[in-house]
Amino acid sequence: MKLCLLLVFAVSSLYAQTNTAQDPIANENAAVLQHVEELRAQCIQERRMICGRIVKLLPEGIVVDSGYTNLMRAPLNQSWLIPGSAEAARATNYIESATPDSVCLGQVYLIDLPKPPRGKKPKLYDYVVLEGFPMGKFTYTSVGTVEHTVRQFSAKVTTAVRWRYGHEIEEQERAKSPPSN
């Protein structure tokens, strides 16, 4: 029985390999899928821990002043949303590293927040501790006409991969289009 199953898998594997070699659409799809996986690996490699105070609530996300490393201690690390009454301080003499899961420093815009714990909603000056995947820059208006540009992160890797792929397509389109006079 095992030998029969092994033979079936071997034959189907050979059939699939010969079939894709003749099908240019399947080859193109495989190349796109491989590239998306490379983008996903890149996003995971560049992820940061965003731990800080909410300084602005926006319709699609929150602006966080990140760098409060002591929020990652027990018992605060039981939830991604921590009440503003918790005792926390900004890290001093800390330099953001380029390694995965290093703590992000400075103001960042975070989207795709997880579902809040039961009965809680993110409020101004609450704290958050989340893993974020980079998505370029975001500009928001703080007071009046004062604009700030900060790094944008998503709490979901799929959103960051989609953004990167779309950003690459836009760059390719810009490179193809003739210069305007």
Band of pLDDT at residue 164, cut at 50, 70 and 90: very high
Domain residue ranges of the chain, discontinuous segments joined by + = 2-44, 46-167
Instruction: Tell me: pLDDT of 1 over 80.
Output: no
Is the pLDDT at 7 greater than 50, yes or no? no
Report the alpha-carbon distance of residue 174 to residue 89 in Å, rounded: 44
What element of type H or E holds 160?
A: helix 157-176
At residue 41, does pLDDT exceed 80?
Answer: yes
pLDDT band at residue 180 under the 50/70/90 scheme: low
Q: What is the mean pLDDT of residues 138-149?
A: 92
Nearest to 110 by CA among 154, 142, 66: 154
* pLDDT > 60? residue 112: yes
Average predicted confidence (pLDDT) for the chain:
86
147-154 and 106-111 strand pairing? parallel
Segment 107-119 shows an average pLDDT of: 93
Q: Is the pLDDT confidence value at 24 over 90? A: no
Rounded mean pLDDT of 158-177? 91
Residues 6+ apart with CB under 8 A from 105: 66, 67, 91, 94, 95, 96
The label of the residue with tokens 């380029």 reads 98
Query: With contact defined as beta carbons under 8 Å apart, do 107 and 77 qualify?
Result: no
